[in-house]
């Protein structure tokens, strides 16, 4: 199975560097790493040279790098709101035409930056008998993800693909972001890494039926996959593969599609994103156990694509089959 590596570049003590050191190092680092985003953290009472922060944010904006300015360890001092206000002043000076919007304690500056407060661990002050739960981390993760473009968004969410709490607690917002029913997303979160692999052209069918999470489809006569079509049946007679294309308008359907094909005898499915006349398309390369199954699926698909055919599930065999009109 393919593994994915997340690299976090830390810059401890950058606040004490001189201007030339900061700028030369950060320019080199940005060019070398091509980062998904930049996260700048400051806790209440900490020291920071604001001109460094302002330059860093401005440089990231010029290079289309999203910035998250975060007040960390928020309960460690009373000046947490002051840290947030200072961050907002910096962003307002760089982006005077952007009207910030606050949502779930995250302040968004369009899709270029955000400001928020977090407490990654439970905070306990025994002297004053104060206990504060961890907070803000999941909202920060989601906020960064929703602000990135599609490819960077899924690369970012891959870093938390094993974080069950995130996928569970943020399921409502994620379902809206991915434009899929909450129930479908909830059924998938246990396989979040598989879900993300699928969107990144690295998915394979699971061969253990116990690992396959069933998806519930709506009861309708509407064609579930009206945007899918077979575009190729390899010419060689011994081919076991079919190629489908699928529009990316409905992510939930693009996940259901290969799972249903598996139940129809497909043993593997790989994906490849296409860009055809500016329309986002996904190509499925589906392999069956033998040529007989592949050809049967091909001819069945051609039949349904060229005829008005309805199909209804019945509870048991009955004489009603004799009353079905030919199609």
pLDDT tens for 87-138 read 999 999 999 999 999 999 999 999 999 999 999 888 888 777 888 888 999 9
Q: Distance between CA atoms of 96 and 238, rounded to whole angstroms?
A: 64
In the predicted model, what is the mean pLDDT of residues 2-12? 70
Express each pLDDT in 147-194 by its tens digit: 999 888 888 988 888 788 898 899 889 888 877 777 666 666 555 445
Residues 214-236: pLDDT tens digits?
Answer: 333 333 333 333 444 444 445 55
> Which of these, 201, 178, 200, lies nearest to 250 by C-alpha position?
178
Alpha-carbon distance of 270 to 9, in angstroms, equals: 33
Mean residue pLDDT across the chain:
76
Q: Which residues contact 152 (CB under 8 A, 6 or more apart)?
A: 36, 37, 66
Report the predicted TM-score, pTM, of the whole model to 2 decimal places. Answer: 0.61
**3-state SS, residue 90:** helix
As a whole number, mean pLDDT of residues 58-75 equals 93
Q: If we measure between CA atoms, which residue out of 51, 45, 61, 44 comes closest to residue 14? A: 51
Question: pLDDT of 240-261, one tens digit each?
Answer: 888 887 766 656 666 777 778 8
In the chain, the domains with their CATH numbers are 14-159 (no CATH), 209-310 (3.30.70)
Q: What per-residue confidence (pLDDT) applies to 327?
A: 40
Neighbours of 61 (CB within 10 A): 18
Q: What is the pLDDT, as a whole number, of residue 3? A: 55
Q: For residues 321 and 120, which has the higher predicted lDDT (pLDDT)?
A: 120
pLDDT of residue 125: 80
Structure tokens at 103: 């949502």
């Amino acid at each position: 199975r393919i593994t994915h590596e997340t690299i976090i570049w830390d810059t401890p003590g950058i606040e004490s560097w001189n201007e030339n050191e900061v700028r030369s190092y950060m320019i080199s680092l940005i060019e070398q790493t091509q980062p998904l985003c930049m996260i700048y953290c400051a806790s209440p009472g900490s020291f920071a040279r604001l001109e460094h922060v302002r330059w860093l944010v401005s440089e990231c904006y010029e290079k289309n790098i999203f910035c998250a300015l975060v007040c960390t360890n928020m309960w460690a001092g009373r000046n947490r709101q002051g840290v947030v206000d200072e961050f907002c002043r910096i962003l307002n000076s760089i982006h005077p035409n952007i009207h910030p919007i606050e949502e779930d304690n995250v302040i968004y500056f369009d899709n270029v930056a955000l400001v928020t407060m977090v407490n990654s661990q439970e905070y306990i002050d025994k002297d004053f008998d104060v206990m504060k739960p961890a907070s803000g981390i999941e909202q920060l993760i989601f906020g960064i993800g929703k602000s990135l473009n599609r490819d960077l968004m899924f690369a970012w969410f891959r870093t938390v693909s094993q974080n069950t709490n995130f996928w569970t607690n943020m399921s409502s917002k994620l379902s809206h972001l991915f434009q899929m029913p909450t129930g479908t997303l909830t059924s998938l979160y246990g396989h979040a890494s598989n879900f993300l692999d699928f969107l990144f052209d690295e998915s394979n069918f699971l061969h253990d039926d116990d690992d396959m999470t069933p998806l519930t489809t709506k009861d309708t006569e509407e064609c579930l996959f009206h945007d899918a079509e077979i575009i190729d049946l390899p010419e060689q007679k011994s081919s076991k593969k079919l190629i489908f294309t699928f529009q990316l308008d409905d992510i939930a359907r693009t996940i259901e599609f290969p799972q249903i094909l598996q139940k129809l005898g497909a043993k593997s499915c790989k994906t490849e994103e296409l860009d055809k006349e500016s329309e986002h398309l996904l190509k499925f390369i589906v392999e069956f156990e033998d040529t007989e199954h592949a050809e049967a699926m091909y001819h069945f698909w051609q039949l349904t694509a060229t005829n008005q055919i309805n199909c209804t599930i019945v509870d048991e065999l009955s004489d009603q089959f004799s009353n079905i009109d030919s199609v």
